[in-house]
Chain A
Amino acid sequence: GQSLEQPSEVTAVEGAIVQINCTYQTSGFYGLSWYQQHDGGAPTFLSYNALDGLEETGRFSSFLSRSDSYGYLLLQELQMKDSASYFCAVRDSGYSTLTFGKGTMLLVSP
């Protein structure tokens, strides 16, 4: 079966760095995505890793190790607006379908 594991909740303070881990077991693997969802809002795309290594986009970076079936999202210089749920998702078919993790709620405090 398909499964993605990520922590249910992470807390941090403004200005800090936080890492959200994701391990996966899926029948197919094309790449790992990360999505952000604010309370009451729609999920929005943050990053996609198809190959091993680190991808950096501003304050956010995403890492993938296919041999370990593991990835993480790194958020630097945390701001209050980063309080949201973060979902990892595996692209598991040629149709671009995604299997999502259950989400990590990030709480940033002053």
Chain B
Amino acid sequence: DVKVTQSSRYLVKRTGEKVFLECVQDMDHENMFWYRQDPGLGLRLIYFSYDVKMKEKGDIPEGYSVSREKKERFSLILESASTNQTSMYLCASSIQPNNEQFFGPGTRLTVL
């Protein structure tokens, strides 16, 4: 079974802190994605990566950056956390050319 793991289920940070969210997948998938999910807004794509060291902006990249140094690991970075970044963050992966995305359990981030 494909497994996507995220470093924390719950995280509380202060405004202005640098935050790292880690995601690891164990199935050698080329594609990895970061979404945020907010009530009534569905899932919105922040960044994605289709290969090691490659990254592309999604629909809402402002305030975020990403890093993919190894194929299995995709990190989301909040350079200076703000309260409007309080959200559920979901990581996903997929293999070309399949269309199914496999999601991790999510990290619920609260920025105070």
Residues of A within 8 A of B (CB): 2, 8, 30-31, 33, 41-45, 48, 50, 87, 89, 91, 95-103
Contacts and interface: CB of A to CB of B under 8 A. Distances in A.
Give the interface centre of A30, A98, A101 by most chain B CB atoms within 10 Å: A98
Interface of B: 31, 33, 35, 40-45, 48, 50, 56, 58-59, 90, 92, 94, 96-106
Chain A interface SS verdict (over half): loop
Given A45-B100, A102-B42, A97 B58 contact: yes
B100 A95 contact: no
B42 A87 contact: yes
A96 B94 CA distance: 8
Contact of A95 (B31, B42, B102): B31
B31 A101 contact: no
A100 B44 contact: yes
A43 B43 contact: yes
Given A95-B50, A100-B42, A42 B106 contact: yes
Contacts of A30: 99
Contacts of A48: 99-100
B96 A98 contact: no
Nearest to A41: B105
